[in-house]
A = this chain, B = another copy of it.
Amino acid sequence: MESKKKVKNIFIQGAISPGFITDCIAKHSSNTAIGGHSIFMGQVRQDEIGGKLVSAIAYSAFEELALEKMHEIREAIFEKYPLSCMHVHHSLGDVSAGEICLFVFTSSAHRKPAIEACSELVERIKAELPIWGKEIFQDNTHHWKENK
């Protein structure tokens, strides 16, 4: 396997649109070796924190480090599971409540590798990528998001 694969950009400015997701899904029906696709989409919740409603999350990242780390994760997941495809996209900047901020898409000949790889990717992305979410309230104050 080629060890010096190109580092892919995973960042998208603003929300990930339903159209983008659709295009990504539609592209894969031509690969007749695929038997299962697994998708995870993270969506911004209108949480209530201290009596105030979250209207958006503003995402920032240490982009270079995040892309290097994502490259490492990608290679480890391809090594561990027999995948046909893997796609990861994360928002930067403002994403309103109800909009998609994370899109992870894996495909494999069989369902189990696709499902397990997708789930592991989501966990690793949340734990290991230097990305920060600032929850913006309707009154323009904010609260820094914390992952559990």
Contacts and interface: CB of A to CB of B under 8 A. Distances in A.
A38 B39 contact: yes
B18 A33 contact: no
Contacts of A122: 111, 115
A22 to B, nearest CB: 4
Contact of A42 (B22, B35, B43): B35
Interface residues of A, number: 35
Main secondary structure of the interface of A (DSSP, over half): mixed
A9 interface: no
A30 B45 CA distance: 10
A38 B40 contact: yes
Contacts of A100: 29
Contact of A36 (B30, B34, B38, B43): B43
B43 A98 contact: no
B33 A45 contact: yes
A109 interface: yes
- Which of A28, A32, A98: most chain B Cβ within 10 A? A32
A136 to B, nearest CB: 14
